[in-house]
Structure 1
Amino acid sequence: MNPVALRPKERSSLRIKLGKTYYISRRYLKWMLNRNKFAKTRQRVLLPYSAFGHQTPLLRKLQGVDMSYQYNKIKNLKLAIERLNGVIIQPGETFSYWKLIGNPTKKKGYVDGMVLHYGRFTKGTGGGLCQLSNLIYWMTLHTPLTVTERHRHSFDVFPDSNRTQPFGSGATCAYNYLDLQIENGTGVPYQLHVRLTDTHLVGEWRCAEPQLYSYHIYEKDHSITPAYWGGYIRHNELWRKAYNRQHKLVEEEFITENNAIMMYEPLLEQQSIK
């Protein structure tokens, strides 16, 4: 962990705009140069076997956040799901979150939702789509698919109240330079199935053959340390255990390291996980 690199940096709005333009343009170039490797086929008929499924609540009461943005988020999720549901990743292909969804603009029906920007909440067109990328990332960790690009927020915004997954197990997104990309290095097609109920975002990876392994995701080396500029930094590592069909451990592997600036007092976090 490098505390100097984590320290918040003040950037002008012009610098931020120019930086986004540069990274968006660079991503378009990469897409053009590698257009044949990305998954794009979708089918309504589901593959026969469930690899892993998960669901997350659509609405949460968050202190200081207007609930209207969460209701708008549901509208945005519906539009994004229309572009993702049923997509097949053939062996050798790569799933790209933003290449499939496209630019979430008002012209396409997207509305203002909640966006985290430099540790603060603001509104933005298409806001709330991180819930979908978080879900897909978490599900992917329970499959043999390979995450080749993933980003997480530099800020830890909320205490662990009712948390069911380890800290740092999500994947943030911003069109199109913060993408979630998943490669199918297996010999079996995988299919993404996502939908909304009245209360939850529901997802599932399905596959053409039964999975050989099941997976358990857990954290190591969790710590909260004071930052030299004030405040605190939260750290952990995500690891994964793979079990065969006889439920015997066959592999334990490192997934990723997470470091984030805490936007609340550590005492709140400790109270929430008792």
Structure 2
Amino acid sequence: MNGNIKPIKRSRIRIALGKLFYTYKRYSEWYFTSKKYTKTYSASLLPEIIFTHKTPLFRKLKDVDMWMQHNKVNNLRIAAKKLNGIIINPGETFSYWKLIGKPNRRKGYVEGMVLFYGGFKAGVGGGLCQLSNLIYWMTLHTPLMVTERYRHSYDVFPDSNRTQPFGSGATCVYNYRDLQIYNGTNQAYQLRVYLTDEYLVGEWRTTEKPMYTYEVYEKEHKITHEYWGGYVRHNVICRRVFDINNNIVDDEYITENHALMMYQPFLEEHTKNSIC
């Protein structure tokens, strides 16, 4: 597991040019390749729930004003409506950003928290990574194939009451850091996402009861003190595959994570705060 990473300082011009290049590269992929992107919605729900999950809308985070959390909820409501009910037919690819579109004020998005090079700032559409995190985590519990996902490069907030393995989310930046999911099965899958007063809730549904279930877990979790003085957090994400009789039929590697820690590790429990 190669996790010897070090912070890289880039100029604003370099960042802007890189963003421009990758943005138009993505547009080219969306509109000029043979990949078939999903675009079919259905108000009728497919009968079988494969996996469901929810994450809290509000968390107390160190040095983060609560107005960012409230604005995030506004942004999540708008984006969730763009994804709710989408059907991925066999042979199709789900693209998070192609379906949502560019978050801007004209569409009703407001400033929320955006993670930025190891810190955070206010940005229009901020908070949508909670939605991509949810979808990625749920997808790992289905036969659908994640074909594009980006890990968080920085571990910004310490853990508190974590229920999922570290690094089990998917960061998103319009439009070049996308979450893409391919349906290589012979049946349709449907995504349902919505908000309650307290939670962001998601489901993957399909037409027939699945043959397999999945257990996602981490291994080789460690924190290393690097030669340049900082700390890096590492792990490997895997999943066990069970048949209908609950027998393990496979144990699959999914991905590995390496993230620069933006806080001192081994903090006392009462000082910890976290995000999804």
| TM-score (normalised: structure 1) | 0.96
- Residue 155 of structure 1: aligned partner: 154
Q: Per-residue CA shift, 1:87-110, capped at 9, x if unaligned? A: 000000000000000000111111
CA–CA separation in structure 2 for the residues paired with 1:2 and 1:246 = 37
CA–CA separation in structure 2 for the residues paired with 1:24 and 1:117 = 17
Q: How does 1:208-247 map to 2 (within 5 A)?
A: 208-247=207-246
Query: Contact conserved, 1:3 with 1:227, CA < 8 A, in 2?
Result: no
Alignment length (residue pairs):
272
CA–CA separation in structure 2 for the residues paired with 1:145 and 1:36 = 16
CA–CA separation in structure 1 for the residues paired with 2:242 and 2:84 = 28
Alpha-carbon distance, 1:34 to partner: 2.7
Q: Per-residue CA shift, 1:26-62, capped at 9, x if unaligned? A: 0000111236600010111000000000000000000
- Residue 192 of structure 2: aligned partner: 193
Range that drifts further, 260-269 or 76-85: 260-269
CA–CA separation in structure 1 for the residues paired with 2:268 and 2:157 = 8
Amino acid at match of 2:74: K
Range that drifts further, 222-231 or 20-29: 222-231
Residues 224 and 269 (structure 1 numbering): CA distance in 2 closer, same or farther, change over 3 Å?
farther
Query: Contact conserved, 1:43 with 1:87, CA < 8 A, in 2?
Result: yes
Query: Contact conserved, 2:3 with 2:234, CA < 8 A, in 1?
Result: no
CA–CA separation in structure 1 for the residues paired with 2:268 and 2:129 = 22
- Residue 80 of structure 2: aligned partner: 81
- Residue 134 of structure 1: aligned partner: 133
- Residue 54 of structure 1: aligned partner: 53
Range that drifts further, 82-91 or 221-230: 221-230
Question: Which 5+ residue runs of structure 1 have no aligned equivalent?
Answer: none
CA–CA separation in structure 1 for the residues paired with 2:18 and 2:105 = 22
Secondary structure in structure 1 of the residue aligned to 2:67: helix
Amino acid at match of 2:143: P
Alpha-carbon distance, 1:143 to partner: 0.2
- Residue 118 of structure 1: aligned partner: 117
Amino acid at match of 1:216: E
Amino acid at match of 1:260: A
- Residue 266 of structure 1: aligned partner: 265
**Residues 1:9 and 2:8 are matched in the alignment:** yes
Secondary structure in structure 2 of the residue aligned to 1:177: coil
Query: Contact conserved, 1:150 with 1:179, CA < 8 A, in 2?
Result: yes
Secondary structure in structure 2 of the residue aligned to 1:128: coil
Secondary structure in structure 2 of the residue aligned to 1:266: coil
Q: Per-residue CA shift, 1:146-170, capped at 9, x if unaligned? A: 0000001111112221100000000
Q: Per-residue CA shift, 1:126-157, capped at 9, x if unaligned? A: 00000000000000000000000000111111
Q: How does 1:98-117 map to 2 (within 5 A)?
A: 98-117=97-116
Amino acid at match of 1:18: L
CA–CA separation in structure 2 for the residues paired with 1:66 and 1:265 = 22
**Residues 1:145 and 2:162 are matched in the alignment:** no
Secondary structure in structure 2 of the residue aligned to 1:37: coil
Question: After TM superposition, what 4+ stretches of structure 1 lie above 2 angstroms from structure 2?
Answer: 1-4, 269-272
Relative to total residues, which structure has the larger helix share, 1 or 2?
1
Query: Contact conserved, 1:43 with 1:86, CA < 8 A, in 2?
Result: yes
Percentage identity across aligned positions?
61
Query: Contact conserved, 1:160 with 1:269, CA < 8 A, in 2?
Result: no
Alpha-carbon distance, 1:3 to partner: 5.0
Alpha-carbon distance, 1:229 to partner: 1.1
Secondary structure in structure 2 of the residue aligned to 1:136: helix
Amino acid at match of 1:43: S
CA–CA separation in structure 2 for the residues paired with 1:249 and 1:88 = 29
| TM-score (normalised: structure 2) | 0.96
Question: Which 5+ residue runs of structure 2 have no aligned equivalent?
Answer: none
